Amino acid sequence: MLKTIIQERRSIKKFNGQPVAAADVTAVLEDAAWAPNHGNREPWRFVVAAENGLTAIRETLKECTIPKWNTLSPEELEQKTAGFKLPGAFVFVVVPEDPRQKERLEDFSAASALIQNAQLLAWEKGIGTCWKTPPWIDAPKFRQALGVLPGERILAMVQFGYYDELPKAKARTPISEKITYFS
């Protein structure tokens, strides 16, 4: 079962606009938090926009990520904001920026494992996801809008949503070509 979910899961980039219940997102994150994390630090927190928060996050995304959006024509603005309108929920994963390099790397790795867990758990529920790291994720205006504090970093924006079409699998390099056996 798990092997099948791992092999069949795809990043969904074309959502159908149906909202994802906040309770479903919370349930996915609750189970995903069983990701391994050194010292059980649980180095993550989340900003979730679902249900009633969708309108507000879409407006925030528009205002914080599109330079001079108010000077664009309606057609240009529609084109630039199209990707914000169809996901059914957004999860921003926030991690501490530990000044110690080893701990920062451990925290980054643990949060990445949590995100992968969340993607697999959502897939099992019939919810698609897409893990994104857009260039504006570190913009001061955006960080402030999400309440990200000094000493924290937004690691990822994970879009959740329902979809009508399943993307095709891309060819993978055989793992045997990526293994060097030490002797």
On whether 133 is known to bind a ligand per the annotation, the reply is yes
- Is 38 annotated in some ligand binding site? yes
Is 9 flagged in the annotation as binding? yes
CB–CB of 42/157 below 8 Å? no
Q: Does the annotation flag 58 for ligand binding?
A: no
State yes or no: 60 annotated in a binding site. Answer: no
Packed helices 22-32 and 101-124: angle between N→C axes, nearest 10 degrees:
130
34 annotated ligand binder:
no
d(CA 166, CA 68): 35
Alpha-helix residue ranges (DSSP H) falling in 10-73: 22-32, 53-65
C-alpha 136/C-alpha 30 separation (Å) is 27
Q: Which tokens in the block code for residue 1?
A: 């079962």
132 among annotated binding-site residues: yes
With tokens 């996901």, the residue in question is 87
Task: Summarize the annotated binding site for FMN as residue ranges.
Answer: 9-11, 38, 131-133
Task: Summarize the annotated binding site as residue ranges.
Answer: 9-11, 38, 131-133
